[in-house]
Chains A and B, each alone.
Chain A
Amino acid sequence: EADIYQTPRYLVIGTGKKITLECSQTMGHDKMYWYQQDPGMELHLIHYSYGVNSTEKGDLSSESTVSRIRTEHFPLTLESARPSHTSQYLCASSQWTVDGNTIYFGEGSWLTVV
């Protein structure tokens, strides 16, 4: 089981502001992910990383950016927030085990842009 920490858990911010959602994991997992999920809707992969200095865009286009300078840290940044960015953002990490590429989620960051 992974320990994944996300901050802030809840954020209300004005349009045009820059925000960074922090994500850290303590298990040394190589792979980290950001998912976006609206209430009652499906998960959408927006970014992933397979290691330090590796970042890729996911299946859903996003105006956010990510960085992976340290194994344990995978922050997500929105340069100019808009109301359409209002959503829940879930950070996750995984490691290959005998059971496969098992993904573990953090508690999520709820973003509201007003």
Chain B
Amino acid sequence: QKEVEQNSGPLSVPEGAIASLNCTYSDRGSQSFFWYRQYSGKSPELIMSIYSNGDKEDGRFTAQLNKASQYVSLLIRDSQPSDSATYLCAVSGDSGGYQKVTFGTGTKLQVIP
């Protein structure tokens, strides 16, 4: 079992719809969770971070964290074609005294005009 798991997709949603991206992780001691967006041929850029159970909203993006279920998700409201990218989930936790960050393999999102 991978430490951080994401459905590779592609996830296709029509323009204006809500895109829901999911991520599960195996280490119950994980403390912080991140979502990155990566356009083809570009480097990952940070969208959001979350470390408390519940929802965190930033514009059209909402991150949801459920530590009991070891599940973190990203909702994108009013999806736009410019949101088409690969979304990486990252999980941070203590590993032998240092903070290890583990990335998932990413979910490819396609927003259809």
Contact = CB atoms under 8 A, between A and B. Distances in A.
Contacts of A43: 44, 88, 103
Contacts of B43: 90, 105-108
Given A42-B105, A42-B106, A43-B103, A100 B45 contact: no
Contacts of B80: none
Contact of B99 (A42, A100, A108): A100
A102 B106 contact: no
A104 B99 contact: no
Contacts, number: 49
B65 to A, nearest CB: 12
Contact of A103 (B41, B50, B51, B101): B101
Interface in B59-113: 88, 90, 92, 98-99, 101, 103-106
Interface residues of B, number: 24
Contacts of A101: 32, 92, 99, 101
B46 interface: yes
Contacts of B99: 96, 100-101
15 contacts: A42-B103, A42-B106, A43-B44, A90-B44, A94-B101, A96-B99, A100-B31, A100-B99, A101-B32, A102-B32, A102-B49, A104-B46, A105-B43, A105-B45, A106-B43
Interface of B: 31-34, 40-46, 49-51, 88, 90, 92, 98-99, 101, 103-106
Interface of A: 1, 39-40, 42-43, 50, 90, 94, 96, 99-108
Given A42-B105, A103-B90, 18 more contacts: A1-B46, A39-B40, A42-B103, A43-B103, A90-B43, A90-B44, A99-B49, A100-B31, A100-B51, A101-B92, A101-B99, A101-B101, A103-B101, A105-B43, A105-B44, A106-B43, A107-B42, A108-B42
